[in-house]
Structure 1
């Protein structure tokens, strides 16, 4: 129904109702494309600049360079734009020309920052006016804008994981004496709405780029059959963890580069790095043989951890074959059967050995992986929601304590 037809059918309504209807139809937003980084909550310093700076960093609106600054980036254009305009006057719409004048920014620089804010879902805009777009905080408040964003983020993440499920062929088999990952990386996740494949990309590399698995500047990694795609495909089809040596043996190239790719996968919350406990027996055997040859039996008993971690009844089962040069991996595994994996790891450390780490997709199934990444995203969003509430409280009360 056009506005003219609306007025004809409902003459008793005031004209401003029709205008509101028209404005609603013309409000627009960019395709959703946001990057989120999990940061510790601000604790001691709750000044408005600290809170807005944390907010800007969590949404990765600016690229951090070096150590944190004392002013929390308060001089940056996007910081001032949020603090002095959209957050402090959330119900006001801002003309792009007005913002350009007040912030002393060129139209190109202003457009860059406004595009980032709009792509995140925080802002919407209308093209009505005197040739300039007018921007406004969605929902008329920071808290409502965040809730609108979060609902979209969750839905897009669910769709992305369902799409990944079509390629998931991994059987999630637990390792013997498995030890969970001790310190997962902070979540660093991209959430991008559906878009067509870019030139040269495959369906999987496009998915990886939209999820953040290829970094901020994918370059050649976006191309079909890139190293990143081959590594991720291997993870999708392999049950056991893949060590860096395994990846290097299969794909070649520099180990450092392969390591950076795998660590980027970890940061996105889809991959974990765990000790290869399936190789614990061979690692202990190698360390025992090496230290026996170098330091002898007495060192193994006292400083090598035998007396501390291995039952006395098992000492001879290891030391006698060691003395004859006939110790096997199977003998070591039999002697370690009743010793906890954590104690075996400690023994390996005392012996100067090293257990390789392996990378694998999190979860025994796509559903478990989806639950994990959804829970981690929810935790990140709860932090952003809490800081958003704190920003509104400080701007309303002026109390920064």
Structure 2
């Protein structure tokens, strides 16, 4: 069944070296596992690279059987079988059975043709899986009230068509696994990724990692690992928790007034940068002991959010961030994920064309 991991990597700009281009393609299609800084290093002579370079790219439509591939590359029959299975799953290679032999070809007879077919299939499968996710999402405008953090994680997602469902595995669990949210290993992670997906699909506000770990009775480290996968897949994003600003400003003003006094609050504490009536109301409240979170919320209501964040920083606080779905409804989330995937697939097709021209 079709299964492909898309991994966003910097384009090999300007390179015409077939080994570098092939290495980038295999990496971007999740067929090799390595750190980004290893791209183009010694691993380019690895088994999968040799199969592609010495056989399938050299004679794409020959119809290579396992013995011929082993003789050509020096790999064992087991190694050849393992790598050809992965190439078939991602759609680069097709196989025809002739008696006891399986003959493999590079689809379309070139890397450009093969990746064009892979791209079309990946887009179709991802569209179907995103439709499943869309139906899980509760629409919410309040979820997107605050602007998201500008920094994005490198895109990475698994695109796998739905297969036979194991006993006791519901649709959400299967979807989380097929999108790679549970990780690529065989150990655990499935239940947590499913629970996080369900929790965040129903959340109307950003949620902190601490809150998620408490709700799901999981360690913060494990929650963070799965959340990072969801952010890489474009499903989640970090966003400031604007509703927490009054609480943290109240704590900061109270603490700094007791420690440093009114003059510090008006100067280095940042109150002097606010409108005079706002600053006076805050100082009057903290001096009289009548200031509380609700009072701070009311006083800061006319103050732009950006200025509230600056005030929190000058008081020694930090803007609290949470995670949320990257859209107000399922269609918005789906569109974002598919947009990221389309960008990676376009790059793959471009580099594949360059590889064919360099051969």
TM-score scaled to structure 1, two decimals? Answer: 0.83
Deviations 1:206-251 (A, max 9, x none): 11101111110253333xxx33322221112222222122213322
* C-alpha separation in 1, matches of 2:202 and 2:228: 19
Partner Cα separation in structure 2 for residue 270 and residue 377 of structure 1: 12
CA–CA separation in structure 2 for the residues paired with 1:229 and 1:42: 36
1:94-118 per-position Cα deviation (integer Å, ceiling 9, x unaligned): 2221110121111111111111111
Structure 2 counterpart of 1:79: 49
Worse-superposed segment, 163-172 or 275-284: 163-172
Q: Say whether residues 1:274 and 2:243 are aligned partners.
A: no
- The question of 1:252 aligning with 2:252 is answered no
> Does the aligned pair in 2 maintain the 1:37–1:187 contact within 8 Å?
yes
The equivalent residue for 2:163 is 195
CA distance in 2, matches of 1:322, 1:339: 18
The equivalent residue for 1:219 is 187
The alpha-carbon distance between structure 1 residues 194 and 227, as it changes in their structure 2 partners (threshold 3 A), is: closer
SS of 2:152 mapped into structure 1: coil
* Number of positions where the alignment pairs a residue of Structure 1 with one of Structure 2: 359
Deviation string, structure 1 residues 334-379 (Cα, Å, up to 9, x no partner): 3333333223222222222123222222222212222111111111
- Does residue 231 in structure 1 map to residue 196 in structure 2? yes
1:58 counterpart residue number: 28
Tell me what 1:204 maps to.
172
Instruction: Report the Cα offset of residue 303 of structure 1.
Output: 2.1
Helix, strand or coil for the counterpart of 1:190? Answer: strand
Residues 1:38 and 2:8 are matched in the alignment: yes
- Structure showing greater Rg: 1
1:134 aligns with 2:103: yes
> Of the candidates 56, 67, 86, which is equivalent to residue 97 of structure 1?
67
For residues 230 and 290 of structure 1, the distance between their equivalents in structure 2, rounded to whole angstroms, comes to: 38
**Correspondence for 1:300 among 265, 270, 290:** 265
1:68 aligns with 2:32: no
- Pick aligned residue for 1:370 from 310, 334, 359: 334
In the alignment, what sits opposite 1:336? 300
| Alignment partners' CA distance in 2, 1:66 and 1:39 | 7
Distance 2:121 2:114 in 1: 11
With 326-335 and 262-271 compared, the bigger mean Cα shift is at 326-335
Question: Cα RMSD over matched residues?
Answer: 2.1
Tell me if 1:157 matches 2:122.
no
Q: Is the 8 A contact 2:144 2:328 kept in 1?
A: no
- The CA distance in 2 between the partners of 1:55 and 1:255, in whole Å, is 35
Hey, what's the Cα distance between the residues in 2 that align with 1:306 and 1:87?
67
Query: Counterparts of 1:45 and 1:188 in 2: how far apart (Å)?
Result: 23
Aligned 8 A contact 1:274 1:358 in 2: yes
**1:298 CA drift (Å):** 2.5
Distance in 2 separating the partners of 1:111 and 1:205: 29
Secondary structure in structure 2 of the residue aligned to 1:184: coil
* In the alignment, structure 1 residue 317 sits paired with structure 2 residue 287: no
* Inter-partner Cα distance in structure 1 for 2:115 and 2:329: 31
* Shift in Å, 1:384: 1.0
Unpaired runs of at least 5, structure 1: 1-30, 396-401
Q: Which has the higher contact order (CA 8 A, sep 6+)?
A: 2
* Alpha-carbon spacing, 1:387–1:313, altered in 2? closer, same or farther (3 Å): same
2:60–2:110 Cα contact (<8 Å) kept: yes
Q: 1:146 to 1:275 in 2, by over 3 A?
A: same
Q: Any stretches of 5+ residues in structure 2 without a counterpart? A: none
* CA shift for structure 1 position 65: 5.3
Partner of 1:148: 117
Task: Please tell me whether the aligned partners of residues 179 and 277 of structure 1 are also in contact (alpha carbons under 8 angstroms).
Answer: no
Aligned 1:18-37 pairs, distance under 5 A: 31-37=1-7
Task: Name the SS for the 1:273 alignment partner.
Answer: strand
* Distance of 2:300 and 2:193 partners within structure 1: 38
The reply to whether residue 265 of structure 1 matches residue 230 of structure 2 is yes
